[in-house]
Amino acid sequence: MDPVDFIVVGGGISGLVAATALKANGRRVLLLEAGPRLGGMAWTYFNDMYACEAGPGLLCLANPAAEEFLRNFGFLSTVNHVNRYASKRYVCQGGRAVEIPASLPGILKTGMISWGAKLALFKEYSAERSFDPDETVAAFVQRRFGAECLEQAVDPLLRSVFFGEPEKLCAQHAIPWLWRIQNESGGIVCSILKRGVRSFFERKFINWTGGFSELVSGLDTTLKPDAQVGQPVESIRRIDGGYEVRTQGGAYQSARVVVATDAGTAGRLLSPLLSTAGDLQLISRASVAVVHLCFRRAAVKHDLEGMGLFIGRSQGLRTQSVLFASSVRPGAAPAGHVLLSARVGGTRHADVLQMKNEALVKLVFQELMGPLQIHEGPVNYSVVRWPGSIPQYERDYDRVETVCETVEKECEGIHLLGNYRGGLWVDDCIGNAYLLAKRLMGAG
């Protein structure tokens, strides 16, 4: 095979977006994916008549570059806007689902936090700013809002994204929007009130009727026949004029290689080129299982009008969160039925991934019976496991970015992408990949 302009290693969302943007600009691209399909965790499958998302269930459009990419490539014309549900969320407290207030009157009326905690919220503007780059989420939230707010609000919400511990996660990287508000305006609560509490919660949440697989399929169509699955990369080595990327199926050459894999794989492939790259294998990662439970609608008393239920560590449960999947995506469940997608595990309960499917389903069902008032077992279920899939943006995260920058500087033509760099959210992965592709196209 003749050399191509770019080889993209990894066919998850990051790799797909980068390859698609490069090819659309006339570049010769080859994408190599180790697994049997493209998309990574972005994968929609059918279990009987239920459309299940194996990974993320919603896309939050907070990244301008991601929105630009999706618009330019026609993916925004077919989306479902689910803001009506996204602004309504619940936390689990004492075995009940308690709605998170999304307005100033709601904050005053809620029994979710005590009056002492409410007072701490409104005194937050007087808290000292901290520019400590290693300040943890726990220290940040306690300093500005108090310990009760951390346990009852922030921990449940953060746990649904990172599945990690706020005492280890780095504030400026795990909650960058709050970190920026603190540095720019000082008072976070005042800034949110000026914008409106509801507008803060009502970000642009979207999905597709065909699920994330609709997005992946569209990207795959653009790339064909230049995307190959079942091609795990064995090595990347320097050659005259660039690099040779070797798989069991052959060797491919290019002056530029985009490594869009998980951090561990990137470290393993690149450490022979530069030993520093091996440090990427040391990034802490959380494991999670997605448990889909299908019920008759009459079996669930909760109205399920909202995004989902978020469960903090104070509740002592191993279920981290539940997406009301059939509420936020039309057609996810047949008429008269509902689909709930629970996330289980995380750094605190990684052992649950070793449980058999039947035991794991039983565990989740028992933990959700009370909060969602479920009085009848599921009519169907499925389980997807993602071991080591969630990188933890912990206190030494700046070291990760330093390693990435060093690799790209010392190994000219190598570029790194992935959810371990620049944001864990899907829109960050899309936006970062699109921006990289635009820089590479500008560089010729």
- Cis peptide bond upstream of 391, omega within 30: no
The mean per-residue pLDDT over the stretch 278-282 comes to: 95
The pLDDT of residue 200 is above 80: no
* Domain span holding position 186: 103-198
The answer as to whether 66 is a domain residue is no
Q: Is there a single domain that holds both residue 193 and residue 338?
A: no
Q: Which of 348, 370, 391 is the last residue of a domain?
A: 391
The answer as to whether 39 is a domain residue is yes
327 CA to centre of own chain: 20
Asked whether 293 and 171 are in contact (CB, 8 A), the reply is no
The pLDDT, as a whole number, for residue 427 is: 96
The CATH number for 315's domain is 3.90.660.20
The pLDDT, as a whole number, for residue 436 is: 98
Q: Is there a single domain that holds both residue 330 and residue 261?
A: no
Q: Is there a single domain that holds both residue 327 and residue 194?
A: no
Q: Tell me the longest C-alpha to C-alpha distance in the chain.
A: 69
The answer as to whether 293 is a domain residue is yes
The answer as to whether 324 is a domain residue is yes
The mean per-residue pLDDT over the stretch 343-369 comes to: 96
Q: Is there a single domain that holds both residue 219 and residue 353?
A: no
The answer as to whether 254 is a domain residue is yes
The pLDDT, as a whole number, for residue 120 is: 85
- Structure token pair of residue 246: 């070797």
pLDDT tens, position by position, 78-118: 898 876 667 789 999 999 999 998 777 788 888 889 989 88
pLDDT tens, position by position, 296-335: 999 999 999 999 999 999 999 999 999 999 999 888 999 9
- Cα–Cα dist 91/354, whole Å: 27
Q: What is the 3-state secondary structure (H, E, C) of the chain?
A: CCCECEEEECCEHHHHHHHHHHHHCCCCEEEECCCCCCECCCCEEEECCEEEECCCCCEECCCHHHHHHHHHCCHHHHEEECHHHHCCEEEEECCEEEECCCCHHHHHHCCCCCHHHHHHHHCHHHCCCCCCCCCEHHHHHHHHCCHHHHHHHHHHHHHCCCCCCCCCEEHHHHCHHHHHHHHHHCCHHHHHHHHCHHHHHCCCEEEECCCHHHHHHHHHHHHCCCEECCCCEEEEEEECCEEEEEECCEEEEECCEEECCCHHHHHHHHCCCCHHHHHHHHCCEEEEEEEEEEEEHHHECCCCCCCEEECCHHHCCCEEEEECHHHHCCCCCCCCEEEEEEEEECCCCHHHHHCCHHHHHHHHHHHHHCCCCECCCCCEEEEEEEEEEEECCECCHHHHHHHHHHHHHHCCCEEECCCCCCCCCHHHHHHHHHHHHHHHHHCC
Q: Is there a single domain that holds both residue 242 and residue 318?
A: no
The CATH number for 192's domain is 1.10.3110.10
The mean per-residue pLDDT over the stretch 21-50 comes to: 95
The pLDDT of residue 196 is above 60: no
The mean per-residue pLDDT over the stretch 203-207 comes to: 84
Residue 362: which residues within 8 A CB-CB, separation 6 or more? none
- Structure token pair of residue 210: 């065909």
Q: What percent of the chain has pLDDT over 90?
A: 77
Q: Is there a single domain that holds both residue 133 and residue 194?
A: yes
- Looking at the structure of the chain, the number of domains it has is 3
The answer as to whether 203 is a domain residue is no
Q: Is there a single domain that holds both residue 379 and residue 308?
A: yes
The pLDDT of residue 197 is above 60: no
pLDDT tens, position by position, 237-274: 999 999 999 999 899 999 999 999 999 999 999 999 99
The pLDDT, as a whole number, for residue 203 is: 64
Instruction: Region of 200 please: left (phi>0), alpha (psi -120 to 50) or beta.
Output: alpha
Q: Is there a single domain that holds both residue 112 and residue 181?
A: yes
Q: What percent of the chain has pLDDT over 70?
A: 96
The pLDDT, as a whole number, for residue 177 is: 84
- Cα–Cα dist 233/221, whole Å: 23
The pLDDT, as a whole number, for residue 193 is: 66
Q: Which of 198, 222, 248 is the last residue of a domain?
A: 198
- Structure token pair of residue 229: 């699955």
Which of 23-37, 170-184, 329-343, 426-440 is predicted with the least confidence, judged by mean pLDDT? 170-184
Confidence band of 204 (pLDDT split at 50, 70, 90): confident
Q: Is there a single domain that holds both residue 176 and residue 323?
A: no
pLDDT tens, position by position, 177-192: 888 888 777 678 777 6
Confidence band of 202 (pLDDT split at 50, 70, 90): low
Length reported for the chain = 444
Q: Which of 141, 173, 198 is the last residue of a domain?
A: 198
The pLDDT, as a whole number, for residue 191 is: 72
pLDDT tens, position by position, 358-383: 999 999 999 999 999 999 999 999 99
The answer as to whether 78 is a domain residue is no
- Cα–Cα dist 418/285, whole Å: 13
The CATH number for 234's domain is 3.50.50.60
Asked whether 380 and 358 are in contact (CB, 8 A), the reply is no
Other Cβ atoms less than 10 A from the Cβ of 16: the count is 30
Q: Is there a single domain that holds both residue 253 and residue 193?
A: no
**Radius of gyration from C-alpha coordinates of the chain:** 22
The answer as to whether 349 is a domain residue is yes
The pLDDT, as a whole number, for residue 368 is: 98
- Cα–Cα dist 276/60, whole Å: 34
Q: Is there a single domain that holds both residue 378 and residue 405?
A: no
Q: Is there a single domain that holds both residue 289 and residue 383?
A: yes
Confidence band of 130 (pLDDT split at 50, 70, 90): confident
**Torsion angle of alpha carbons 198, 199, 201, 203, nearest 10°?**
150
Distances (CA, A) of 90 to 87, 106, 283: 10, 13, 31
